[in-house]
């Protein structure tokens, strides 16, 4: 066990990656790059427009901001709801079935790994299909909230649908302008027979925003998943934020090989045994073909 990464960054080929990872059980850390081929833009990718992410403080501190947020989300989340897994998601699910992949830690909230059939997935930054009350911590399905918002704002989605360039964001935002009249739903009582009453608190997508911490229990499970594997494969993340990068540092410091597959350099390259500047859909498909199955 070394205490610091000692292997210099090496730009490798696919053959190098296969040679390094063959026979090893992998934990895979995935980011937005894995979902771009499913039509969800990566706002940190090399070709992305600059964008200021919403912070948790903005969301809880400003009612007008929150109204604008929910109006956009009410339109945008449907796009995520309709996306389907791509070849990269399918390859990871196949590698899990063959014993090569132990599990996934994903920074994506789109649930496309689960849709592709991956079974051991830690949704590090939450999931778009749930909403949480900030006061009573009740969790509500996003579909249930959609019905409430539709009832409060009849025809809103249809009107926004007329706007030509509805922009889809990784957190299910869609950029729309006319949101001033949008009515927001507070924590409510979804079912008259449900004893847990709605408290009127602020509802927030069950997604970790900037300025918020990943729940400790979830972080610990992710560290344990890294420790259970022989190597860490990073796919489609620029490792910009600490919440994901810490697992890469942890793997390197514990002596595990780290491979980073991403378009462009990442902030985790310093910890990598090998980096491969490539798209994830094609690379993961090739790895699924080339890495030998392992007994479960
Ligand atoms: Zn509540």
Tens digits of per-residue pLDDT, 65-82?
899 889 888 888 877 778
Mean pLDDT of 170-181: 60
Question: Does the pLDDT value for residue 221 go beyond 70?
Answer: yes
For residue 162, pLDDT beyond 90? no
Say if residue 10 is in the same domain as residue 130. no
Residue 212 has pLDDT above 60, yes or no: yes
If you measure from the C-alpha of residue 232 to the centroid of ligand 1, how many angstroms do you get, rounded to a whole number? 38
109 and 191 belong to one structural domain: no
Name the region of 281 (left: φ>0; alpha: ψ -120 to 50; beta: rest).
alpha
Q: Which residues are annotated as a binding site?
A: 31-51, 107-110, 133, 136, 187, 199, 236-238, 262-264, 280
CA of 78 to the centre of ligand 1 (A): 24
My answer on whether 186 and 235 are in the same domain is: no
What pLDDT is attached to residue 34? 97
Please say which residue of 191, 207, 223 terminates a domain. Answer: 207
**Domain count of the fold of the chain:** 2
Q: Are residues 6 and 61 in the same domain?
A: no
Q: Are 235 and 246 part of one and the same domain? A: yes
Ligand 1 centroid–CA 188 distance in Å is: 7
Residues of the domain holding 142: 47-82+126-207
Whether residue 222 sits in one domain with residue 257: yes
**Average pLDDT estimate for 216-245:** 96
Q: What is the pLDDT of residues 18-39, one digit of tens each?
A: 999 999 999 999 999 999 999 8
pTM of the model: 0.87
Do 230 and 162 belong together in one domain?
no
CATH of the domain at 158: 3.30.1600
Q: Kindly indicate the confidence band of residue 164, based on its pLDDT and cuts at 50, 70 and 90.
A: very low
- The pLDDT, as a whole number, for residue 5 is 46
Annotated binding-site residues for NAD(+) read 31-51, 107-110, 236-238, 262-264, 280
User: Considering 74, 81, 125, 250, which one is annotated as catalytic?
Assistant: 125
**CATH number for the domain harbouring residue 240:** 3.40.50.1220
Annotated catalytic residue 242: no
Query: How many angstroms separate the CA atoms of 261 and 267, rounded?
Result: 12
One domain for residues 195 and 224: no
Ligand 1 centre to CA of 130 (Å) is 14
Tell which of 182, 207, 232 closes a domain: 207
Ranking 94-103, 173-182, 218-227 by mean pLDDT, the lowest is 173-182
For 37-66, the pLDDT digits (tens) are 998 877 665 555 555 677 899 899 999 889
The model's confidence at residue 166, banded by pLDDT at 50, 70 and 90, is very low
3-state DSSP assignment of residue 235 = strand
**Looking at the structure, do residues 195 and 281 belong to the same domain, yes or no?**
no
- Other CB atoms closer than 10 Å to residue 185's CB: what's the count? 20
Binding residues for Zn(2+): 133, 136, 187, 199
Q: Indicate whether 190 and 254 sit together in one domain.
A: no
* C-alpha 115 to ligand 1 mean position (Å): 29
CA distance 137 to 134: 5
Same domain, 55 and 197: yes
């Amino acid at each position: 066990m070394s205490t610091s990464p000692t292997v210099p960054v090496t730009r490798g080929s696919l053959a190098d990656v296969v040679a390094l990872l063959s026979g090893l059980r992998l934990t895979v850390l995935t980011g937005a790059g894995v979902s771009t081929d499913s039509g969800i833009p990566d706002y940190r990718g090399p070709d992305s427009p600059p964008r200021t992410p919403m912070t948790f403080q903005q969301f809880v501190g400003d009612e007008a901001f929150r109204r604008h947020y929910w109006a956009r989300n009410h339109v945008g989340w449907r796009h995520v709801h309709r996306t389907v897994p791509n070849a990269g998601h399918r390859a990871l699910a196949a590698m899990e079935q063959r014993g090569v992949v132990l599990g996934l830690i994903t920074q994506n909230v789109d649930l496309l790994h689960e849709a592709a059939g991956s079974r051991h997935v830690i949704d590090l930054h939450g999931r778009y299909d749930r909403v949480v009350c900030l006061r009573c911590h009740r969790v509500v399905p996003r579909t249930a909230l959609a019905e409430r918002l539709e009832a409060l704002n009849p025809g809103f989605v249809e009107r926004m649908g007329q706007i030509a360039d509805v922009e889809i964001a990784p957190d299910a935002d869609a950029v729309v302008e006319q949101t001033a009249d949008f009515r927001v739903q507070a924590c409510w009582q979804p079912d008259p027979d449900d004893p847990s009453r709605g408290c009127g608190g602020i509802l927030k997508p069950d997604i970790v925003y900037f300025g918020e911490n990943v729940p400790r229990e979830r972080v610990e499970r992710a560290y344990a998943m890294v420790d259970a594997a022989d190597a860490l494969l990073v796919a489609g993340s620029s490792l910009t934020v600490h919440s994901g990068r810490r697992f890469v540092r942890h793997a390197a410091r514990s002596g595990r090989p780290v491979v980073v597959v991403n378009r462009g350099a990442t902030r985790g390259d310093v910890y990598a045994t090998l980096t491969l500047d490539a798209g994830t859909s094609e690379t993961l498909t090739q790895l699924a073909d080339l890495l030998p199955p392992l007994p479960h």
